[in-house]
């Protein structure tokens, strides 16, 4: 039976091996509890101690937490440091200087390695190039690059100057890019001519040109282009420069600009339940502390490890566990340009074998799609590869179902490697709730216990705490150093979204969760707002609805909901009322395709609806409210058993049941 589809009730507990306990940074549950208790007993002392131990400061902070302007918390506010110096300079003169920092594997399999020394030189030279174009502390720089050493260099170079990067995932459209340029007021874009994915060349620079041509992007003075491929592309004289032109004559020596711990390191846009994407703003000191710390706590990083986080730098996981955490921890890390299914679905396993990866970190969606592939094609099953280098395997981005967990543990981890299921968010900056590999007994499908210094609780709608066994809303009762500081340019939205009045000043995560009776292990079950999690990517239903109704020649009204999907976790389903009679057959298929293409163009291919349903109206109550729970039932292809007596027009349910 398929490992993806069976509903497994998994009650087994997997304790860490003795060897793992012995060698781990946090060795055994006693050690975990001691740390946790220290953080409870002396919250500020705990974080203050770690900040001194894990970061290199130009000026050591004397303050830990400043709560004078809640919920705009400040951490280590009078300290000064530089993020890039903490990732690179600090390793010079140590054994890490000539260690491999990045093993880059390109789409076609070519490998490039770069040491910490070389990376520091490249980052410094790049920073000097940016500086020569007037980019300085506090300026926003938009980065739209493929997974590459260049991507890491560009981000680190911004950090070196105190410039604030805003990375946009390469799968977003020109319109999304323009929105983010305007919202952040970026002064430059760093992009590539093309990106390579699965043997195909895909334009990036052309999309930047299109975004700038949409208008209101006057803040952009320069576009810097990494020539990833030899193919030609249009350049605008004066504005556009190749990387070669940017770097020409620049020295490889660039002193890092020391900034306050609270200085914004970056903005990263993520979907919310309403309106446009939110610019999550992260700090330098607090963020970096937890990025570095969790490399040791969650991944038990050792000097000889080869770490691989498969996330793109366009997402928070790529920020924390590709660009900052591994380098701050002095790790050798793999950066992979392409997709797990090219040239076949054995690519991840082949790369683990090839590079002797020891800590592997990926998303449940990738695992589920590789299970599917291995079930249909023996050749790409992990058993055909030597995965004995693996020590620890991690999961991130969405709930991992017990079936996928057990498959991952058995077939990839060889029943030897702990599965570290990490629950966190763009807004939290770093891991929040997850097992520690040398301490926490594992339960498939549970992210287990909070990290030391993190104080979650489960509450009801009124903010009242709930006991173990009762599901509710996940909150955090105390702030933490790597938390979101504000939403760029919208402090009101920050307050309303994360600190609504009924939550008593606690941070509201937007997720539902429950703790198991007995061990108080957390299980996060999904979002409580109108945010979908599709392949581990957050998508706002309202965003997709707005995109659909923006097709004014065709669409009168649209509602978007999610439905469960075997591989992608959730799938996007759009219910559409057209400005013409309800189509059928080939006509309906053609219009559905037109709408999918339109959404891809408006937001990006990741927002493409999987199912489209047409009807002459949407199910509404007499007061005109769309009944989304009915749509969710229809999206699943199930019969309506709910009460529909309050429905204005029950007849349309049959119409809307059809999927295109």
Task: For residues 276 and 104, give the distance between their C-alpha atoms in angstroms, rounded to a whole number.
Answer: 34
Residues 467-496 that bind ligand WTA (CB under 6 A): none
**Of residues 339 and 512, the one with the C-beta less far from ligand WTA:** 512
The CB-of-548 to ligand WTA minimum distance in angstroms stands at: 23
User: In whole angstroms, how far apart are CA 76 and each of 96, 129, 164, 561?
Assistant: 27, 31, 19, 42
DSSP 265-305: EEEEEE--SSSSPEEEEEESHHHHHHHHHHHHHTT---TT-
Task: For residues 363 and 382, give the distance between their C-alpha atoms in angstroms, rounded to a whole number.
Answer: 16
**Of residues 90 and 292, the one with the C-beta less far from ligand WTA:** 292
- Mark the segment that binds ligand WTA (CB under 6 A) among 175-183, 219-227, 309-317, 435-443: 309-317
Residue 267 in the binding site for ligand WTA (CB under 6 A):
no
Residue 563 in the binding site for ligand WTA (CB under 6 A):
no
The CB-of-508 to ligand WTA minimum distance in angstroms stands at: 11
Among positions 355, 538, 551, 563, the unique one binding ligand WTA when judged by CB under 6 A: 538
CB atoms within 10 A of CB 134: 11
Among positions 96, 149, 359, 396, the unique one binding ligand WTA when judged by CB under 6 A: 396
Q: What is the largest CA-CA distance in the chain?
A: 75
**Of residues 505 and 526, the one with the C-beta less far from ligand WTA:** 526
**Of residues 325 and 346, the one with the C-beta less far from ligand WTA:** 325
Token digits of residue 428 = 């939290």
Residue 270 in the binding site for ligand WTA (CB under 6 A):
yes
Q: Which residue has the tokens 């280098």?
A: 389
CB 541 within 8 Å of CB 505? no
- Give CA torsion, residues 294, 295, 299, 305, to 10 deg: -170
Residues 430-449 vs ligand WTA: string with x where CB under 6 A? -----------------x--
Residue 368 in the binding site for ligand WTA (CB under 6 A):
no
Give 539's strand partners. Answer: 532
Please, how many CA atoms are within 13 Å of residue 333, restricted to the half-sphere of its CB?
A: 30
Among positions 170, 264, 397, 437, the unique one binding ligand WTA when judged by CB under 6 A: 397
The CB-of-529 to ligand WTA minimum distance in angstroms stands at: 9
The CB-of-421 to ligand WTA minimum distance in angstroms stands at: 5
The CB-of-176 to ligand WTA minimum distance in angstroms stands at: 15
Token digits of residue 143 = 């980065």
Task: For residues 171 and 15, give the distance between their C-alpha atoms in angstroms, rounded to a whole number.
Answer: 39
**Of residues 437 and 615, the one with the C-beta less far from ligand WTA:** 437
- Mark the segment that binds ligand WTA (CB under 6 A) among 213-221, 294-302, 418-426, 560-568: 418-426
Residues 317-336 vs ligand WTA: string with x where CB under 6 A? x-------------------
Residue 471: strand, helix, or coil: coil
Residue 316 in the binding site for ligand WTA (CB under 6 A):
yes
- Mark the segment that binds ligand WTA (CB under 6 A) among 80-88, 173-181, 345-353, 416-424: 416-424
Residue 399 in the binding site for ligand WTA (CB under 6 A):
yes
Residue 425 in the binding site for ligand WTA (CB under 6 A):
yes
Q: At a CB cut-off of 8 Å and minimum separation 6, what does 271 contact?
A: 277, 278, 531, 538, 539, 540, 543
Angle, CA of 250, 253 and 254, to the nearest 5°: 95
Under the rule (CB under 6 A), what is the footprint of ligand WTA? 270, 315-317, 396-399, 421-426, 447, 510-511, 524, 527, 533, 538
């Amino acid at each position: 039976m398929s490992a993806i589809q069976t509903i497994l009730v998994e009650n087994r507990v997997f304790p860490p091996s003795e060897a793992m306990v012995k060698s781990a940074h946090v060795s055994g549950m006693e050690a975990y509890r001691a740390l946790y208790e220290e953080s409870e007993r002396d919250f500020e002392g705990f974080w203050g101690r770690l900040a001194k131990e894990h970061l290199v400061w130009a000026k050591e902070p004397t303050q830990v937490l400043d709560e004078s302007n809640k919920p705009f918390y400040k951490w280590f506010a009078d300290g000064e440091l530089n993020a890039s110096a903490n990732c690179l300079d600090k390793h010079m003169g140590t054994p890490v200087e000539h260690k491999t920092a990045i093993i880059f594997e390109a789409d076609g399999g070519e490998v490039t390695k770069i040491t910490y020394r070389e990376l520091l030189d490249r980052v410094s030279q790049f920073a000097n190039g940016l500086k020569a174009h007037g980019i300085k502390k506090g300026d926003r720089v938009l980065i739209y690059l493929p997974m590459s050493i260049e991507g890491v260099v560009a981000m680190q170079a911004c950090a070196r100057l105190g410039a604030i990067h805003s990375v946009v995932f390469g799968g977003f459209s020109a319109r999304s890019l323009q929105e983010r340029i305007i919202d952040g007021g970026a002064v430059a874009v760093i992009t590539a001519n093309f990106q390579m994915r699965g043997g195909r060349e895909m334009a990036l620079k052309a999309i930047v040109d299109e975004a700038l041509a949409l208008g209101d992007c006057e803040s952009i003075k320069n576009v810097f282009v990494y020539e990833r491929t030899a193919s030609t592309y249009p350049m605008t004289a004066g504005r556009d420069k190749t990387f070669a032109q940017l770097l020409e004559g620049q020295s490889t020596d660039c002193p890092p600009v020391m900034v306050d711990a609270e200085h914004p390191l970056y903005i990263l846009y993520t979907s919310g339940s309403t309106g446009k994407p939110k610019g999550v703003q992260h700090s330098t000191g607090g963020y970096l502390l937890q990025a570095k710390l969790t490399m040791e706590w969650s991944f038990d990083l050792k000097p000889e490890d080869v770490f691989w986080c498969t996330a793109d730098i366009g997402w928070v996981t790529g920020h924390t566990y590709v660009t900052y955490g591994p380098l701050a921890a002095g790790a050798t890390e793999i950066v992979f340009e392409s997709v797990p299914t090219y040239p076949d679905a054995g690519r991840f396993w082949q790369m683990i074998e090839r590079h002797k990866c020891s800590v592997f970190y990926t998303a449940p969606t990738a695992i589920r799609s590789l299970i599917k592939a291995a079930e249909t094609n023996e050749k790409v099953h992990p058993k055909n590869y030597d995965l004995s280098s693996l020590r620890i395997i991690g999961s991130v981005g969405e709930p991992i179902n017990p079936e996928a967990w057990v498959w991952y543990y058995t077939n990839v981890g060889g029943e030897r490697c702990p599965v570290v299921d990490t629950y966190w968010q763009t807004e939290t900056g770093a891991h929040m709730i997850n097992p520690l590999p040398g301490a926490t007994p594992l339960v498939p499908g549970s992210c287990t216990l909070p990290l030391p210094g993190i104080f979650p609780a489960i509450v009801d709608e009124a903010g009242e705490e709930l006991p173990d066994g009762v599901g509710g809303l996940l909150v955090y009762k105390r702030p933490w150093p790597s938390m979101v500081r504000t939403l760029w340019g919208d402090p009101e939205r920050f307050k309303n979204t994360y600190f609504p009045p009924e939550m008593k000043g606690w941070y509201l995560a937007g997720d539902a969760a429950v703790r198991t009776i007995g061990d108080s292990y957390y299980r996060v079950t999904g979002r409580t707002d109108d945010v979908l999690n599709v392949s581990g990517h957050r998508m706002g239903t309202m965003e997709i609805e707005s995109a659909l109704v923006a097709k004014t020649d065709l669409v009168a009204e649209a509602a978007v909901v999610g439905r469960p999907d075997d591989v992608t976790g959730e799938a996007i389903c759009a219910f559409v009322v057209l400005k013409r009679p309800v189509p059928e057959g080939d006509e309906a298929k053609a219009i559905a395709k037109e709408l999918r293409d339109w959404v891809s163009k408006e937001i990006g291919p990741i927002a493409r609806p999987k199912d489209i349903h047409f009807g002459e109206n949407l199910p509404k109550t007499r007061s005109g409210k769309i009944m989304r729970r009915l749509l969710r039932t229809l999206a699943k292809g199930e019969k309506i058993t709910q009460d529909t007596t309050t429905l204005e027009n029950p007849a349309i349910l049959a119409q809307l049941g059809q999927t295109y």
